[in-house]
Amino acid sequence: MEQTRNLEIFLVATPGLEAPLHAEAVEKGFESAKIMPGGVSCQGNWTEVWRANLSLRGANKVLVRIGSFPAVHLAQLDKRARKFPWAEFLRPDIPVKVEATSRKSRIYHAGAARQRIERAIAETLGATISSDAELRVLLRIEKDICTFSIDTSGEPLHKRGHKPAVAKAPMRETMAAMFLRECGFDGSEPVLDPMCGSGTFVIEAAEIAMGLNPGRSRSFAFENLHGFDSTAWGALRQPQPQSETDVVFYGSDRNAGAVDAASTNADRAGIAAHTRFQTRSVSDIKPPTGPAGLVIVNPPYGARIGDEKRLRSLYGSLGKTLASRFSGWRVGIVTSNQSLARSTRLPLLPPGPVVDHGGTKIRLYRTDPLP
C-alpha cells in the first residue's frame, strides 16, 4: 500500500444529499472535491482514504478506483483481468466478494463478467471468493471501459459502531448529519428533536459540537488490504482533543422505550453529558432555557407508520406548539408528504431536494427563525 500514490476516491452519497456531502468534503480539506452522479469524487493517498472513512459524516461508503482498461468481449476481459496487479491491493488470505455492473457495453452480461474476475483473482492471487466477504471488489463496465474499485469501508458508514439500540423507522446517521448541515447547524447552538426515537439527530448534533470523528468506534475493510500500515492508522485515529462546548442537545418522545434507547446510545457514544432525553408528547414540549437554536424532527410519514388523517392532527399539534412557544428557533421537518408539512402551518421555505430514504422519497422543509 503505497502511501504517496494519488488515488481517485469516490464518496458515495445518499441520493439527493450530494451537495451537503460535497460541502463537508471541502470543509474537511479533501482535494479536488467535486459533485458527480451518486456522490463526490476527490483525490488523495491512502491516508486520505482512511481519513474519509473516519471523519466524514455524510458519506455512505468510500470507494477507491484501482485501475481500468478497455475490453469488448469476455475473453479479452479474462486475459486482462489475469494480468491486473491484484497483489498490490489484495491479500491472498483475505476473502473477497466481486460485484459487477454493465452499461452501454458489448460485454452486457454482468454475471458472466463477474465470474471472470472472480476466477482471475482466485487463480492469480490465491484469494478465496466468498459472497459474504467484507472486502468487495467492484467492476463497472461502461462504454466498453472496465473499471475496478475497492469498497474501503466494509459495513455502510451510517453504522457508527456505538449505537446498539434502534427505534422504529430510524433515520440513518449519515442522512441526519446532512440534514443538520442543510439546516445551517455548525455545533454552536442547541438542537431539540421532539420525536427523537433512538436519538439520531441529537447524538449527531452533540458529536459535531464536540468535534468527535463518526468512525471512531468501528473497523473498516481497508484494514484488510495488502500493505496496510496499522501503526500509521493507529496514529490517525487517536482521539482528537474534544472541542470545548457547553451547549446541550435535547430529545423527547412519547415512547418511554425510545427515550431509554436514546439515552443508552448517547452513553455508548460518550456524549451523555451533553444530551438530555425525556418522555414527553409533542404538545408538552417547551424550549430549554438559554439561546434559541434548531428544532429538527423526522415525524411519521404515513407511508410507513399510521394513517394520514391522524398524522395531520399530529403535524398540526407540532406546528401549533412550535409557533406559540419557540420564537427565534429555526425548524427542520423531514417528511415524504408536502401536505403533511403544510399541516404544521409554519412559514416553510421552499423544500430541499428529494432524498431517497430506503425507497421512500423524503424532503427537508425548513423555516427561518420563527417570529
| pTM of the full structure | 0.95
208 shares its domain with 115? no
pLDDT of 169 over the 70 cut? no
Do 144 and 42 have their domain in common?
Answer: yes
- Of the candidates 253, 148, 269, the one whose C-alpha atom is nearest the C-alpha of residue 193 is 253
Check whether residue 272 and residue 324 sit in a common domain.
yes
Percent of the chain with pLDDT over 70: 96
Confidence of residue 2 (pLDDT cuts 50, 70, 90): low
Place of cell 420564537: 327
Backbone angles phi, psi at 139, to 5 degrees: -110, 125
pLDDT at 306: 55
Q: How far apart are CA 25 and CA 119, in angstroms?
A: 37
**Same domain for 205 and 122?**
no
Instruction: Label residue 16 left, alpha or beta by phi (over 0 means left) and psi (-120 to 50 means alpha).
Output: left
Note whether residue 320 is domain-resident. yes
Range of the domain at 360: 173-216+241-366
Output the average pLDDT for the chain. 94
Structure confidence at residue 308 (pLDDT):
79
Same-domain check for residues 266 and 349:
yes
CA-angle at 245, arms to 244 and 251, nearest 5°? 145
What is the mean predicted confidence (pLDDT) over 53-67? 98
| pLDDT at position 3 | 60
Tell me whether residue 371 is in a domain: no
Confidence at 354, pLDDT banded by 50, 70, 90: very high
304 has pLDDT over 60: no
Question: Residue 312: its pLDDT value, please?
Answer: 93
300 neighbors 311 (Cβ within 8 angstroms): yes
Determine the pLDDT at residue 358. Answer: 86
Are residues 112 and 188 both part of a single domain?
no
Cell of 278: 425525556
pLDDT of 200: 96
Asked whether residue 195 is assigned to any structural domain, the reply reads yes
Grid cell listed for 115: 465470474
More confident residue, 310 or 178: 178
Question: For residue 167, what pLDDT is reported?
Answer: 59
> What gap in Å lies between CA 316 and CA 322, rounded to an integer?
10
Boundary (domain end) residue, out of 151, 181, 203:
151
Is residue 39 domain-resident?
yes
Residue 165 has pLDDT above 70, yes or no: no
Rounded distance between C-alpha atoms, residue 83 and residue 78, angstroms: 9
pLDDT band at 164 (very low <50, low <70, confident <90, very high): confident
Q: What is the mean pLDDT of residues 322-329?
A: 98
Total number of domains constituting the chain:
2
* 67 and 193 part of one domain: no
Whether residue 255 is found in the same domain as residue 142: no
Strand locations in 248-310 (E):
249-253, 275-279, 294-297
Task: Average the pLDDT over 83-95 and give the result.
Answer: 97
In terms of Cβ atoms closer than 10 Å to its own Cβ (0-12, 13-18, 19+), residue 290 is: exposed
Residue 87 domain-assigned (yes or no): yes
Residues with Cβ within 8 Å of residue 30, at least 6 apart in sequence: 9, 11, 42, 44, 48, 52
Residue where a domain stops, chosen among 121, 151, 181: 151
Residue where a domain stops, chosen among 151, 184, 202: 151
**Residues sharing a CB contact under 8 Å with residue 348, sequence separation 6 or more, in sequence order:** 333, 341, 342, 365, 366, 367
Is residue 56, in this structure, part of any structural domain at all? Answer: yes
For residue 312, is it within any domain? yes
CB 301 within 8 A of CB 360: yes
The model's pLDDT over 260-293, given as tens digits with 9 standing for 90+, comes to 999 999 999 999 999 999 999 999 999 999 999 9
With a cut of 60, say whether residue 1 has pLDDT above it: no
| Residue 31 within a domain | yes
- Strand order of the β-sheet with 191-193 is 275-279, 249-253, 191-193, 294-297, 330-335, 360-366, 355-357
pLDDT digits (tens, 9 = 90+) for 95-139: 999 999 999 999 999 999 999 999 999 999 999 999 999 999 999
Same structural domain for residues 103 and 183? no
Spatial distance between the Cα atoms of 64 and 4, rounded to a whole number of angstroms: 14
What is the rounded distance in angstroms from the CA atom of residue 166 to the CA atom of residue 269? 14
Shared domain check, 138 and 181: no
Distance CA 27, CA 328 (A): 27
In the chain, the percentage of residues whose pLDDT exceeds 90 is: 89
One domain for residues 195 and 292: yes
CATH number at 49 reads 3.30.2130.30
Q: What CATH number is given to the structural domain containing 199?
A: 3.40.50.150
User: In this structure, are 125 and 257 located in the same domain?
Assistant: no
- From 133, 39, 65, select the one nearest 95 (Cα to Cα): 133
Instruction: Determine the average pLDDT of the residues in 339-357.
Output: 96
Q: Each residue of 181-231: pLDDT tens digit?
A: 999 999 999 999 999 999 999 999 999 999 999 999 999 999 999 999 999
Taking alpha carbons only, the member of 38, 42, 40 closest to residue 30 is 42
Q: Flag whether pLDDT at 55 surpasses 60.
A: yes
